[in-house]
Amino acid sequence: MKQILLIFLLISSFELLAQYVPENIDTSSHKKELLYGVFPKERLPKLRNFSISGYYRFMTNVRNLSDPYPELKNNPRSIFVGDDSQIPQLSLNIAGKLSDKTNFSTDFFMWSPMMGNGTVENVKGLNLGVSLTGTHSTSVGNFKVLAGGINWYSLSPFTFYTNRGYNRYSLFERNPWDPNTKAVNSRYEDFYNNGSLNQDTRWGQQAFQGIILEGNDLPKGFSGAFMYGKTQLNGGFAPIPNASIGGRIKKTFKDNYISYNTFNSNTSSDSVKNESLGFNLHTLNFLFNIKKIKIEGEVGMGRFYSKIYDKGWGEALDLKVQFPKQYTGIPLEIHAYQISPRVINNNSVFWNSSIREANPSGTAEGSQLLLVPFASSMVQVGQMTNNRRGIELNTEFKIGKLKATIGHSISEEIENISSQVTYSHPTNNLTLSRFWRWGFPGGVGPYGNLTKVYRGVFETLSLTDVDGTGKPLNKKRFNTMELNMKYNTKILKKDFYVYYLLTLASLQKNFSPITVFTEKAYLRTYYHQAEFYYRIMPKVMWTNYVGYERIIANYDTRVNQVTRRPKNQTGWGLATGLDIMMNKNAGLYLRQRWFGYNDSSFPLDHYKGSETTAEIKIFF
């Protein structure tokens, strides 16, 4: 009897195990596995590619201004719960695969601004829309379609791309898209070792809504892409036709390639399409490796057209040559560029500084300006603008545990168009942007010369050496030097990181091989930022920041009517905080900042205060 019962149990066990098939098993070719079963148990294949993921992000900010701007005197204290970057607190992604060749996903969010308006502000709905991704592999090549929703994509730097820079920036303030890391020090260790951080799919790419078709691994090394739809600069709530269209044809041979790219935008000025405005851009970009020398670049032609502006086509040229250490003693990159003022594309790596035009749909609520005027901007090394030509040198070296990267930029305008200059305040840039939480207002501040952008603010300065029409008498010349130093050691057997970022820049009317430090410069900006990170416990990182900036203008710029002096600005920031990993998927981030700023020439331009920020981010 015992033997019969044992045999019965064994047969039942085999039958039960046979119902479970491990992932990636082809049932038609694994009959033996199905007959005898597998162990351990696995879920059914139809469910193996269905997933629900997302994150929850709580953030609160408490600000106290002991010396506020005049427009903020009635509200010197602020307690904010939510996200002033307008990112939802809860994001839920539902994704699945119908087969190995087709997948789908959709995003939902919940957002509670807590403005005191009751349940109407507890928003829930689509975050990035319903996006369908399909793939199909054949003997000819691999094909892919992206449709609907918002997809993050890139073509080439001049057509559809975002600037990635040279990894010279501050780490202290977290971005909404920054992920949690496996170890509490990974963020700072990666930056020390690699000079870069892990970012999500948005890094270096632009948002696009519409349809994208790709063909890869085609015969003879060809690949291609086609896109039709809207960028963040199209759209709005006004019922006026507008769209963007672009694509590329790429030929790859070994580790080299050459690609034809195009991107075009058209917006009707009225509902019957009698008039329109937009831009066209056609380029060739390439990459060649010759005896370990890397040569890459892009050349093309572009134009902007509208009822009141149509000056034809202009050139866009960009060339980078990277020499390895064996040729020059240290790694060296030489970067040269020239972008005509007639070349416009705010979906690319370069900023517009020449044409003040707006999309008619941009006058409607919920839309953006098509061409945001930045005037003549003082920019970081690596950031390009149109109406400018320049050359940059970048290198890096290591002495023991000290690592350093250096960038030097010389550039000048092609045409003297604008009498205005813009620059930023990196020491307290994020803090300053929180003075105006909602929207992106311009003309704010005690003298109406500040403009808020996403997580930042830039200031506008007017030149006074102009002719009777307001046109500047001279072309502007720019110089920027950047130094980023990184050091890693151990204190009491625990990791300690030190980072220092120095930026010295000037704007003047005459050519100079280096940054100008005298009154000959229209404007001089000196930025110092030092950061210290210490792993005090296995899951706790102590973070610290010190920033100092000096900004000085000369008498060929706007002066104050009372003091009769030009801008003379000083800003400082002192901050500390903790990164606490509660578990591998949950992090707590605390920041305490004290800040101050004063312009000794403009009596109303000063502020001082402190702010406390707490963030909890949980991924699931």
In 250-286, which positions are buried (b, 16+ CB within 10 angstroms) versus exposed (e)? bbbeeebbebbbbbbbbbbbeeeeeebbbbbbbbebb
| Token pair of 122 as six digits | 């507890």
CB 79 within 8 A of CB 55: no
Amino acid type, 30:
H
Q: Using DSSP, state whether 494 is helix, strand or coil.
A: strand
C-alpha pair distances (Å), 334 with each of 318, 388, 404, 478: 11, 17, 17, 17
* Residues 6 or more apart whose Cβ sits within 8 Å of residue 240: 267, 268, 269, 270, 271, 360, 361
Pick from 586, 590, 470, 611: which is nearest to 182 by CA? 586
CB 522 within 8 A of CB 508: yes
The CA distance from 489 to 73, in Å, is 45
The CA distance from 300 to 246, in Å, is 14
Q: Using DSSP, state whether 80 is helix, strand or coil.
A: strand
Q: What is the pLDDT of residue 19?
A: 40
Specify the residue for token string 């502006």: 309
Instruction: Classify residue 561 by burial, with Cβ atoms within 10 Å: 0-12, 13-18, 19+.
Output: exposed
| Token pair of 169 as six digits | 């920036």
Structure pTM? 0.84
CB 428 within 8 A of CB 516: no
Q: Using DSSP, state whether 16 is helix, strand or coil.
A: helix
| Token pair of 588 as six digits | 């707590």
Residues 178-228 have pLDDT tens digits of 888 888 998 899 889 887 544 445 556 788 888 999 999 999 999 999 999
Below-70 pLDDT ranges, the chain: 1-49, 84-86, 100-101, 111-130, 196-204, 234-240, 269-274, 356-374
Q: What is the pLDDT of residue 13?
A: 39
CB 348 within 8 A of CB 371: no
Q: H/E element holding 222?
A: strand 222-231
Amino acid type, 407:
G
Specify the residue for token string 């600037």: 163
CB 340 within 8 A of CB 352: no
* Residues 6 or more apart whose Cβ sits within 8 Å of residue 133: 102, 103, 104, 105, 144, 145, 146
CB 149 within 8 A of CB 210: no
The CA distance from 582 to 540, in Å, is 9
In 388-400, which positions are buried (b, 16+ CB within 10 angstroms) versus exposed (e)? bbbebebbbeeee
CB 343 within 8 A of CB 389: no
The CA distance from 472 to 164, in Å, is 32
CB 427 within 8 A of CB 527: yes
CB neighbours of residue 548 within 10 Å: 15
Specify the residue for token string 């000048």: 412
The CA distance from 151 to 232, in Å, is 11
Parallel/antiparallel/unpaired status of strands 90-99 and 256-268: unpaired
Is the peptide bond prior to 538 cis by the omega test (within 30 degrees of 0)? no
The CA distance from 92 to 94, in Å, is 7
Q: Supply the DSSP string of 410-453, one letter for each residue.
A: EEEESS---SEEEEE-GGGHHHHHTTS-SS--EEESTTS-EEEE
Q: H/E element holding 377?
A: strand 376-377
Q: What is the pLDDT of residue 306?
A: 82
* Alpha helix stretches (DSSP H) within 159-258: 186-194
Q: What is the pLDDT of residue 30?
A: 43
Q: H/E element holding 15?
A: helix 2-17
